[in-house]
Amino acid sequence: MGPVSVLPTPQSLSTWEGDLAKMTHLQAGLSPDTIEKARLELNENPDILHQDIQQVRDMIITRPDIGFLRTDDAFILRFLRARKFHQADAFRLLAQYFQYRQLNLDMFKNFKADDPGIKRALIDGFPGVLENRDHYGRKILLLFAANWDQSRNSFTDILRAILLSLEVLIEDPELQINGFILIIDWSNFSFKQASKLTPSILKLAIEGLQDSFPARFGGVHFVNQPWYIHALYTLIKPFLKDKTRKRIFLHGNNLNSLHQLIHPEFLPSEFGGTLPPYDMGTWARTLLGPDYSDENDYTHTSYNAMHVKHTCSNLERECSPKPMKRSQSVVEAGTLKHEEKGENENTQPLLALD
């Protein structure tokens, strides 16, 4: 019997080189630090990336009830990253992604930035997206709840605008790995506005964001939340996964706990950060391009102002709503406060309702 050759054949070498080129392409643009982070935190192994992707793709035949409209390598990879390369979990998320769209067809008709409903929500700052990432490389999304003009934007259109924004952002492989942070400012959010957040639409949002989208959320931060937002949290808590509950932080008006998790140099002045106040039109201009217009000045009337309007007589000037642009937050800079030392002995930053 002659010696056994251990050299690769030309055919196997060609296949190996092809796979290597494909994997290099899938990780192209990632910094060495991010590649290492993906390896350590997400179990991403470039040597078997193609096999991981193919294993998920092979599971598609088990769900003939779902139309998988996109199954290319780059698309499947984001689901693997979102589920730390557990193939079964990644496939389950992929199936839920398309099933959610099948069950909510109206939400995804004309699913683009120039759709009238989505465009209005974007112009009103739903969502806000900060240009720079935080110290962990995460993208920071902002929601100023009081800017929800319910006569102008439905909750569904706001959710559509958020989902569309995430679709655009998740194309960036760095964000597939590093993830997102969401900050919701509840300043001036009235009880009447909160009453429109019904269980059915909250469930729709949770299913769309938690259960059906391949994004890694490192934290959801509430600031200036009133008591009825706590009540809403109790309402939706059964629909939240344990991991999600542990990543919800309620800061009230305490900047210290917020800044221990997100450094001030990455935050606008509304949150006590060193950046300028957030311009609500920033992200809308990015998505809409030449189609963006700030429209005309409009009158922002809070529900509280509407409630007391009939009691105003000599105080008409004080009661009159102030004109503002839609690219302006209703939240004044510095509305949050730093707690003085000794004001709160517990400096634990994790204020999760869990």
**346 vs 138, more confident:** 138
Convert the pLDDT of each residue in 260-293 to its tens digit: 999 999 999 999 999 999 999 999 999 998 878 7
Dist CA 335 CA 101 (whole Å): 39
Residues forming CATH 1.10.8.20 domain(s) in the chain: 26-105
Dist CA 239 CA 252 (whole Å): 23
Q: Is 263 left (phi over 0), alpha (psi -120 to 50) or beta?
A: beta
Q: How many CA atoms lie within 13 A of 247 on its CB side?
A: 16
Give me the amino acid identity at 62.
T
Q: Does position 336 have pLDDT exceeding 90, yes or no?
A: no
Q: Read off the pLDDT of each residue in 243-272 and give the average, rounded to a whole number.
A: 94
The closest alpha carbon to 161, from 93, 115, 216, 130, belongs to: 115
Q: Domain 111-293 - what CATH class? A: alpha beta
Q: Say which CATH topology domain 26-105 has.
A: Helicase, Ruva Protein; domain 3 (1.10.8)
DSSP states of 94-108: HHHHHHHHHHTGGGG
Residues forming CATH 3.40.525.10 domain(s) in the chain: 111-293
What pLDDT is stored for residue 292 in this prediction? 81
Q: Does position 296 have pLDDT exceeding 60, yes or no?
A: no
Q: How many percent of the chain have pLDDT more than 70?
A: 76
- Using the structure block, give the residue that is written with the tokens 């078997």: 48
* Confidence band of 300 (pLDDT split at 50, 70, 90): very low
Convert the pLDDT of each residue in 128-151 to its tens digit: 999 999 999 999 999 999 999 999
Give the number of residues written for the chain: 354
Phi, psi of 265 (to 5 degrees): -70, -10
Burial bucket for residue 24 (CB in 10 Å: 0-12, 13-18, 19+):
exposed
Convert the pLDDT of each residue in 153-183 to its tens digit: 999 999 999 999 999 999 999 999 999 999 9
**Mean pLDDT, the chain, whole residue set:** 82
